[in-house]
Chains A and B, each alone.
Chain A
Amino acid sequence: MSMSRREFAQLIGLAGAAGMLPTTGFAAAKQTADPYELENFGNVRLLHITDCHAQLNPVYFREPNVNLGVGTAYGKAPHLVGEKLLGHFGIAPNTLEAHAFSCLNYESAARQYGKVGGFAHLKTLVDRLRETYGREKTLLLDGGDTWQGSGTSYKTRGMDMVKATNELGVDIMTGHWEFTYHQQEILDNIKAFNGEFLAQNVFVTEDALFEGADEYIHDEDTGHVFKPYSIKEIGGARIAVIGQAFPRTKIANPARFIPDWTFDIYDDLLQEQVDAIRANEKVDAVVVISHNGMDVDIAMASRVSGIDVILGGHTHDGMPEPTVVKNAAGKTLVCNVGSNGKFLGVMDLDVSNGKVRGFRYRLLPVFSELIAPDPSMAQLITDIRQPYTSWLNEELAPADEVMFRRGNFNGTFDQVICDALRKVNDAQVSLSPGFRWGTTVLQGQMVTMEHVLDQTCLTYPETYVREMTGAELKLILEDVADNLFNPEPYLQSGGDMVRVGGFDYVCDPTAKIGNRISEMTLDNGERIDANKRYKVSGWATVGARSEGADIWDVVADYLRDRKVASIDKLNTPKLKNVAGNPGIVDYPA
């Protein structure tokens, strides 16, 4: 890293002097030489991680330049990018903090400040924030998407991350991609997990109950597969933590892995649960560890009352401050703490006599070069990786430009995947899911097999080649666009727009389903005909298992052959009705 700690301190001092720092948030704490020295507040400290996607080692991760909000979400957190995000949260440009939270000057800032995350660094930071506050007054909560996203999590069926979260000291977690293993594997992993796995919105199906699922589920009478909530006595207070797993798991991911469980958002049941906890458990605060996604959490907080804090994930929004949502009984704080191990949320609460009297929140970016790695976690990571290093470390091709995914539409790494599918599978058109995980590779950096796995590693990686009509292609695009841009949050499913190769289109995010997508046009300029058939290649089918090679092998073959990770053309839609939307900056089309 090109910047010393002293220079860093000076930089922070300068920004502070300029009067541009907010009184809350990470910057407020940074006016000392040490960015991780926090003033203690209150009597309960909640430490929050989410969506690390099994990234055990430090990574580069570029925040999005397109994260459009439509309907009531327009212009509100988390649908802010670039200067608009900095301005909203009062973050000074060209600072470490601006780099952490926005996509601005990404490459040069990434070279300056170095990688983010890594469990050994996170461990040091978590331990410090526990020790300086009083370990017995802290909880570490994990919002899920922890067991998936890397080569080692794939090979160990998520068990590598169970070991890593045990070493980290996670007290409570909930899940989403955890449910992409088989039911029995999930139950075995939970058994090996030292903390509690909570989910108030996952129920056993009646068919499964009839077949004998009652032998392992948490509560036969209510049908809860997992414990719905837990009461923790910390800092002299009783804190209820309720788990909310991703409600669309069986729609967004293969239902075949978890046939006996059913998911949804149950406002009425959650309200009953909160009311019962408040009536019977003598709690001082109610917290939800959620994998709804931020828009859904904000909506849920307005509909269900009595929750003090929602610690959220899924949508990978690194929000420097909580959104305060008013509801029938008061207000609820909604947080979201980004992804890939890049951030640690710190919520200090002043809690007594059944009431939260105040809070102080910081979202700390985990800059790996500013934190010494914890030796025993580092050893565990080495041990986990050891059997797979030759697979992970294969150098495929140097990156010709910054390679990333995150954003509503095609990122450069997505384009490489789409190009690989077309080339290797000899297809006219390709489709690739708009996941929000996947790390970043800087220009000139060698793309390794591990980077390809960061972008593609899931438990249903098989590719397909099939014919589709133009009408079928449009139907897919319309369906996914509605999952992203439906103004009613409960009708969204998270994730970004499906990535495409070999054609462009026009997209109006503000239109209704059936009318958002138009002018689908092949790269050769030919308009896609609704009735004509096209050869399409893709991967990650949720219905039935596809027959083709695993996606990472397709991409690796393509890169080995091409010898450079580059793109000739970015297939990204021309957008309508987004002028002035603060959720978009530097858009190429």
Chain B
Amino acid sequence: MSLHRRTVIKAIATGGALVGASVLMPKLAFAAWNKSAFEAKDQTAAMKALLGAENAENSSEVTLKAPDIAENGAVVPVTVSSTLADVESMSVFIQDNPSPLAAEFMIPAGTAANVATRVRMGKTSKVTAVVKAGGKLYSASKEVKVTIGGCGG
């Protein structure tokens, strides 16, 4: 690998990468901030407000990576990728958060559908990634455990 991780991270941090910019500043990156979706109190309402439907088809072409147990509920790493064609957007929902919609990433045509972010989780919850591709919705889910910790032997 010729480009060191450190260099890449620096490039992202200084805004040199398009995806990085949207990860760091999701609100600024969107022309139309979907206030009602991000403020919705349940996942169904948030999905409907954001994507216009309450359900998405479970798909093996959507890959959601998240830990089984969060090391720190305040910053849980979540990665979403997809092998579907014509991906338009990728969004992340934390079902039991006060506001379940955590992030939406717009994927411009020709961009690899692979995003990573960190989400805040107050308690154990189902995490769902929804990918919009070719006008249809596809998803993958996983439960992430948040524990108060301690008492390990």
B6 at the interface (CB under 8 A from A): yes
Query: B1-22 interface mask toward A, CB cutoff 8 Å, 1 = contact, 0 = none?
Result: 1001110011001000000000
B149 A314 Cβ-Cβ under 8 A:
no
Residues on B with C-beta less than 8 A from A209 are 5-6, 9
Q: Which of B26-34, B41-49, B65-73, B107-115 contacts A (4 or more CB under 8 A)?
A: B65-73
Using C-beta atoms within 8 Å of the partner chain, give the interface range for chain B: 20 to 34
Contact with B149, one of A436, A490, A494, A543 (Cβ below 8 angstroms): A543
Residues on A with C-beta less than 8 A from B9 are 206, 209-210
B36 at the interface (CB under 8 A from A): no
Most chain A beta-carbon contacts within 10 A, residue among B13, B149, B151:
B151
Query: How far does the Cβ of A254 sit from chain B's closest Cβ, in whole Å?
Result: 9
A490 to B143, CA, bound (A): 12
Residues on A with C-beta less than 8 A from B124 are 513
A475 at the interface (CB under 8 A from B): yes
B147 at the interface (CB under 8 A from A): yes
B152 A250 Cβ-Cβ under 8 A:
no
Residues on B with C-beta less than 8 A from A262 are 71
Most chain B beta-carbon contacts within 10 A, residue among A315, A479, A498:
A479
Query: How far does the Cβ of A584 sit from chain B's closest Cβ, in whole Å?
Result: 18
A480 at the interface (CB under 8 A from B): yes
A251 B147 Cβ-Cβ under 8 A:
yes
Query: B44-82 interface mask toward A, CB cutoff 8 Å, 1 = contact, 0 = none?
Result: 000000000000000000000001111110000000000
Known: A221-B4, A223-B5. A495 touches B147 (CB 8 A): no
Contact with A495, one of B5, B13, B148, B153 (Cβ below 8 angstroms): B153
A206 to B152, CA, bound (A): 26
Residues on A with C-beta less than 8 A from B149 are 251-252, 493, 542-543
A264 to B69, CA, bound (A): 8
Residues on B with C-beta less than 8 A from A252 are 149-153
Residues on A with C-beta less than 8 A from B71 are 250-251, 255, 262-264
Residues on B with C-beta less than 8 A from A436 are 153
Known: A223-B5, A435-B153. A493 touches B148 (CB 8 A): no
Known: A248-B69, A483-B147, A490-B68. A253 touches B152 (CB 8 A): yes
A335 to B66, CA, bound (A): 29
Query: B70-110 interface mask toward A, CB cutoff 8 Å, 1 = contact, 0 = none?
Result: 11100000000000000000000000000000000000000
Query: How far does the Cβ of A364 sit from chain B's closest Cβ, in whole Å?
Result: 23
Closest to B13 in A: A210
Query: How far does the Cβ of A432 sit from chain B's closest Cβ, in whole Å?
Result: 9
B4 A214 Cβ-Cβ under 8 A:
yes
Please report whether the interface of chain B is mostly helix, strand, loop or mixed according to DSSP.
Answer: loop
A419 to B145, CA, bound (A): 32
Most chain B beta-carbon contacts within 10 A, residue among A176, A223, A252, A255:
A252
Residues on A with C-beta less than 8 A from B145 are 491
Query: How far does the Cβ of B71 sit from chain A's closest Cβ, in whole Å?
Result: 4
Query: A429-472 interface mask toward B, CB cutoff 8 Å, 1 = contact, 0 = none?
Result: 00001111100000000000000000000000000000000000
Closest to B147 in A: A479
A433 B6 Cβ-Cβ under 8 A:
no
A567 at the interface (CB under 8 A from B): no
Closest to A268 in B: B65
Most chain A beta-carbon contacts within 10 A, residue among B72, B124, B145:
B145
Residues on A with C-beta less than 8 A from B69 are 248, 251, 490-491, 493
Residues on A with C-beta less than 8 A from B72 are 250, 255
Query: How far does the Cβ of B67 sit from chain A's closest Cβ, in whole Å?
Result: 6
A262 to B70, CA, bound (A): 11
A426 at the interface (CB under 8 A from B): no
B6 A210 Cβ-Cβ under 8 A:
yes
Residues on A with C-beta less than 8 A from B147 are 251, 479, 482-483, 493
Closest 7 A/B residue pairs (Cβ): A252-B152, A495-B153, A436-B153, A433-B151, A542-B150, A250-B71, A435-B153
What are 19 A-B pairs at a CB distance below 8 A?
A209-B9, A210-B13, A214-B6, A220-B4, A221-B4, A221-B5, A314-B153, A315-B153, A434-B153, A437-B153, A480-B150, A483-B147, A483-B152, A491-B69, A491-B145, A493-B151, A494-B152, A498-B151, A541-B150
Q: A220-B4, A491-B145 are in contact. List 7 more A-B contacts (CB 8 A).
A: A210-B13, A220-B6, A223-B5, A264-B67, A436-B153, A494-B153, A498-B151
